[in-house]
Amino acid sequence: MMLETFVESIEAHTTLDDITIRSVFGGKGVLSGGVMFALIKGEEVYLRASSESLKQEFIDSGCTPYEFNWRAHSRNYPSLSNYYSVPDSISHSKKQIASLCEEVWTAGLKEKIKKETPTRIKDLPNMQYKTERMLRKAGITSIDELREQGPVNAYKAVCVSQEKHPGVNLLFCIAGALEGIHWTILPELKRQSLTHEVGSDYLAH
Q: pLDDT per residue over 74-102, tens digit each?
A: 555 556 789 999 999 999 999 999 999 99
Q: How many domains is the chain built from? A: 2
Q: Is 69's pLDDT higher than 70?
A: no
Domain CATH for 91: 3.30.1460.30
- Greater confidence, 118 or 61? 61
Domain co-membership, 129 together with 197: yes
Would you state the pLDDT for residue 50?
87
Q: Is 163's pLDDT higher than 90?
A: no
Q: pLDDT per residue over 29-67, tens digit each?
A: 999 999 999 999 989 999 999 888 999 999 999 999 998
Last residue of a domain, one of 63, 90, 116: 116
Where does the pLDDT of residue 72 fall: very low under 50, low under 70, confident under 90, or very high at 90 and above?
very low
Last residue of a domain, one of 116, 138, 159: 116
Last residue of a domain, one of 116, 148, 175: 116
Q: pLDDT per residue over 1-30, tens digit each?
A: 589 999 999 999 999 999 999 998 889 999
What is the span of the domain harbouring residue 46?
3-116
**CB 203, CB 195: distance < 8 Å:** yes
Domain co-membership, 7 together with 107: yes
Domain co-membership, 111 together with 127: no
Domain co-membership, 72 together with 151: no
